[in-house]
Amino acid sequence: MNQAVDPKVDGLIRFRMDLSYEGSDFAGWAKQPGLKTIQGTLLDALELIFGKTVDDFAMRVAGRTDAGVHAEAQVIHLDLSVGQLKRLGRSDNVPAKLNSLLPREIRIKTFEKAPKDFDARFAASFRRYKYTIADSVSGWNPLFSRTRLWVTYELDTKAMQLAANELLGLHDFAAFSKPKANATAIRELKLLKISRNKSLGNVIEIELKADAFAHNMVRSIVGALVKVGAGKATPKDVAKALKSKHRGHGFKVVGPEGLSLVEVGYPANKDMAKQRAKARNMRSLGD
């Protein structure tokens, strides 16, 4: 971290932090009274270094993961004053300081001054998730019991891919997401790939990439694909559910244990402001 920086408006300087975590024992990302969360645990450590704050350092996250969900590449931003930065003294290795205070399930990877117009959430151009499943073909490795969904039967990955193809593109994913007031489920699903990873015991990996994801969207989609892979639904059933825009389709939301945020993408610095404005607009299928 470069401490010799000029203060921005209101004397605050924006920083980008990259981190990873194993979310099994956390009640999701967002701070909640009386619950152990990723954000709450991180804020406790930050306040030990920089002092108490009334606004949680204006922290914003790229993707608010649910309870039990993991992240290999989460991104946040926070705003610090010159006075707060002075509390670092001669040592400005913020990741090392934070990691010494955090549980081993959370690791800070980088902490850097953010580029102009950076916003961890609204400047992001895409998010990429991975969902891992161990079926009867791959077998169950207890060492990964907290980071994979285990099923007792074989899944047909070819049928799952055919169903996945029905979901690609710009759609209203209301049928595959939890309703949220004053929000839309219109998203552009850019990648939905199903494959077996032989190097990890032939487990099934479902890779999803979109401009953004609605609440429960990933786990809802995976639930539909699992049902198709088990021979209990067809790709046409998935396409029909998508077009219905309703959740009464019978596909279940799978558990969080197999899900991890693996990448957040951002545009070039010169395009950050444009991306922020685009992300704040209410989506429509006419965009």
User: Which residues are part of the catalytic machinery?
Assistant: 66
Read off the DSSP letter of residue 56: G
DSSP bridge pairs for 204: 133, 196
How many Å is the maximal CA-CA distance in the chain?
62
Nearest residue to 213 via CA among 251, 264, 155: 264
| 8 Å CB contact between 87 and 221 | no
CA distance 161 to 195: 9
Read off the DSSP letter of residue 61: E
> CA–CA distance from 269 to each of 118, 199, 217, 275 (Å)?
8, 37, 29, 10
